């Protein structure tokens, strides 16, 4: 019998689609459930306590409903705060998304790295540890932007966004002392990869994120497992009742997510 258990992706919104895209390149037939906590969006302006309570509870319900083979927390904010709680609460493999400081440090020639994330992510001790362990000889400057998360959501809803906004957000890095030396920026929020072309247009330097690494990790953890022989319709499940979800349908369909559900 074919193993039809899905991979369950989780984010506050559409950001995790950047991780899903990388995964679909390696595992094109993987059944997908993409969960967006639209009722809890955005995460980046929430407290650690709120995220730590909300994410494991929601994932518990999602796992019960969809019985996935593996869970991907496709959100840096949720992962840097709640990954350990989720792992201890769930009895299946859980892959997290944490800022790609290690690959950025390997790439940077100027030894100055920018970390662009949500406000909640950039203040996490998890990020301090990654910077100390992998970029100890680099200047690591951080900037949090809730506006950039909203811009990515707007882009996926087909709305036009203002190019000047991206340049202004990047100044949050370059205006810091030493910021002019930055040659590599970590996109430490999964939403930001979705607006990488706009960021590159505003400031053409190297942007790094963890999507491909996560995809390889998922492929490794599911090695030897069976997959359907063709891709089936993916499910996008939302926690909110927001009617605006309809405006996302075309973008979701590009990732094979043609069934919409509510939690």
Which residues of this chain interact with ligand DGL, rule CB under 6 A? 11-13, 15, 41-44, 75-77, 118, 121, 149, 189-191
Count of all residues that appear for the chain in the document: 263
Does 77 show up as a binding residue in the annotation? yes
75 is catalytic: yes
Give the Å distances, CA to CA, from 4 to 9, 66, 68, 153: 15, 11, 9, 30
Closest contact distance (angstroms) between CB of 181 and ligand DGL is: 25
Q: Which is nearer to ligand DGL, 113 or 214 (CB)?
A: 214
Closest contact distance (angstroms) between CB of 190 and ligand DGL is: 4
Contact predicate 235/34, CB 8 Å: yes
Place of tokens 């996490």: 124
Which of 81, 122, 135, 189 is labelled catalytic?
189
CA atoms within 13 A on the CB side of 253: 7
What are φ and ψ of residue 52, in 5° steps?
Answer: -65, -25
Does 108 show up as a binding residue in the annotation? no
Closest contact distance (angstroms) between CB of 13 and ligand DGL is: 6
Which of 62, 75, 131, 195 is labelled catalytic?
75
Q: How far apart are CA 76 and CA 181, in angstroms?
A: 25
DSSP conformational letter for 65: H
End-to-end C-alpha distance for the chain, whole angstroms: 28
Closest contact distance (angstroms) between CB of 77 and ligand DGL is: 4
Give the Å distances, CA to CA, from 236 to 72, 125, 130, 261: 14, 32, 32, 6
Q: Which is nearer to ligand DGL, 73 or 227 (CB)?
A: 73
Q: In this structure, how many other beta carbons lie within 10 angstroms of the beta carbon of residue 179?
A: 17
Q: Which is nearer to ligand DGL, 44 or 213 (CB)?
A: 44
Does 12 show up as a binding residue in the annotation? yes
Q: Which is nearer to ligand DGL, 34 or 43 (CB)?
A: 43
Q: Which is nearer to ligand DGL, 51 or 227 (CB)?
A: 51
Does 223 show up as a binding residue in the annotation? no
138 is catalytic: no
Contact predicate 116/82, CB 8 Å: no
Does 11 show up as a binding residue in the annotation? yes
Does 162 show up as a binding residue in the annotation? no
Task: Supply the residues annotated as catalytic.
Answer: 75, 189
**Annotated binding-site positions:** 11-12, 43-44, 76-77, 190-191
**Annotated binding-site positions for substrate:** 11-12, 43-44, 76-77, 190-191
């Amino acid at each position: 019998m074919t193993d039809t258990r899905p991979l369950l992706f989780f984010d506050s919104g559409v950001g995790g689609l950047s991780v899903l895209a990388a995964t679909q390149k390696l595992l094109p037939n993987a059944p997908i459930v993409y969960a967006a906590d639209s009722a809890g969006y955005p995460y980046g302006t929430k407290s650690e306590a709120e995220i730590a309570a909300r994410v494991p509870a929601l994932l518990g319900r999602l796992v019960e409903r969809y019985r996935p083979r593996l869970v991907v927390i496709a959100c840096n904010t949720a992962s840097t705060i709640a990954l350990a709680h989720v792992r201890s609460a769930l009895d299946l493999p859980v892959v997290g998304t944490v800022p790609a400081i290690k690959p950025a440090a390997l790439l940077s020639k100027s030894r100055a790295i920018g970390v662009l994330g949500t406000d909640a992510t950039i203040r996490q001790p998890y990020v301090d540890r990654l910077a100390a362990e992998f970029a100890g000889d680099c200047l690591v400057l951080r900037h949090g932007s809730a506006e950039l998360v909203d811009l990515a959501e707007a882009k996926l809803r087909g709305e036009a966004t203002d190019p000047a906004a991206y340049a202004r957000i990047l100044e949050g890095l370059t205006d810091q002392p030493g910021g002019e030396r930055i040659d590599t920026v970590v996109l430490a929020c999964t939403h930001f990869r979705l607006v990488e072309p706009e960021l590159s247009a505003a400031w053409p330097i190297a942007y790094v994120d963890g999507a491909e690494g996560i995809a390889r990790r998922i492929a490794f953890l599911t090695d030897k497992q069976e997959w359907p022989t063709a891709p089936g319709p993916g499910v996008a499940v939302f926690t909110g009742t927001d009617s605006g979800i309809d405006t996302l349908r075309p973008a979701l369909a590009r990732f094979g997510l043609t069934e919409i559900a509510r939690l």
